Amino acid sequence: MSPKNEKVTVDVDGHELTLSNLDKPLFPSGFTKGDVIDYYVRVAPVMLPHLRGRPVTVKRFPEGTSHSGFIEKNVPRHAPEWVRTVTLPRKGTGWGSTRTKSDRDTTEYTIVDDLATLTWLANLASIELHTPMWRAGADDSPRSPDLVVFDLDPGHPAGIVECCKIAGRLRERAAQDRIELFAKTSGSKGLQCYGRITSKRWPADRSNEYAHELAEELEQEDRALVVSRMAKELRRGKVLIDWSQNNPAKTTVTPYSLRASKRPSVSTPVTWDEVAQSAEGGIDLLAFGPADVLQRVEQMGDLFAPLVK
């Protein structure tokens, strides 16, 4: 590893990048900026297909995760000219409205289509990457959603075990509508279930409505464990099925993204057998760090690959 504060110039797929502060710890555990970049470069083959075409919101922590970071939607002004961007209306300004880069009611997002862009973002201490359930087309206009997501958020003392129980029920219910769900950890305390809905050709609001309907249905079946309403006072000891992440203006942490915590954790695709084992065994078997994820990818490949075919 290079001495602290030394700058290193590298070529990434024909693009020149200057990397800096590689020895700077970004996590209290000692995981450095160089480690962050190395992880994203190594996981890129399976992560990039889930990023391509999707506007990215990043959470940056230049001083490390023990300090306050910030959310960044607009592409930084010093971005290389080869970085792809898309300009979209801000929340509440009218989806699909006319957009101009000079319009203060728009946001110019980064699109991570290649390794060079992912490496560049990692060098900016972009720990977390979040993306919506839709992609931008060739003309930069938002396409209809290709994914539906159920974000399972446990309220203490409920945890990942309770999320696993609800995930299994969601999987069975979505299958009745011919939607195959795939699970991943949030990288924090929850679980997320994704389904590919491209063949249904739903408009932007339909996927949100569908997720809401299923969340309410499961709440009615098990009010002791499930809640579909957002009020925090309703969540204690229950699992919130957050259906609102399907709103076109919202994002969910991207598969394989790091999460900002004391120790680096990763939003990790998991098998349904693993989900069932946690649910039945009553213990958390679904906590993974960067090294774990790279090993899993080597052994299992991308468990979320069916979502991008």
Nearest C-alpha neighbor of 148 from the set 109, 206, 189 = 206
pLDDT at residue 189 greater than cutoff 50: yes
Which one of 3.40.190.10, 3.10.450.50, 3.30.565.10, 3.30.70.3300 gives the CATH number of domain 147-307?
3.30.70.3300
Place of tokens 């001083």: 63
Distances (CA, A) of 131 to 32, 53, 273: 24, 10, 27
Q: Do domains 8-131 and 147-307 have the same CATH topology?
A: no
Helix (H, G, I), strand (E, B) or coil at 44: helix
| CB-based burial label for 214 (10 Å; 0-12, 13-18, 19+) | buried
> Which tens digits make up the pLDDT trace of 217-269?
999 999 999 999 988 889 999 999 999 999 999 999 999 999 999 999 999 99
Backbone phi and psi for residue 287, each to the nearest 5 degrees, phi listed first: -120, 120
- Please determine, looking at this structure, whether the domain spanning 8-131 carries the CATH number 3.90.920.10: yes
Q: How much is the CA Rg of the chain, to the nearest whole Å?
A: 19
Helices in the chain by DSSP H: which ranges? 33-51, 115-123, 160-175, 204-221, 272-281, 290-300
Kindly state the average pLDDT of the residues 183-211: 95
Kindly state the average pLDDT of the residues 115-143: 96
**What pTM did the predictor assign?**
0.94
pLDDT for position 92: 45
Could you state, in order of their start, the residue ranges of all structural domains in the chain?
8-131, 147-307
pLDDT for position 148: 98
Q: What does the alpha-carbon distance between residue 250 and residue 261 come to, in Å, rounded to a whole number?
A: 22
Nearest C-alpha neighbor of 84 from the set 102, 65, 63, 108 = 108
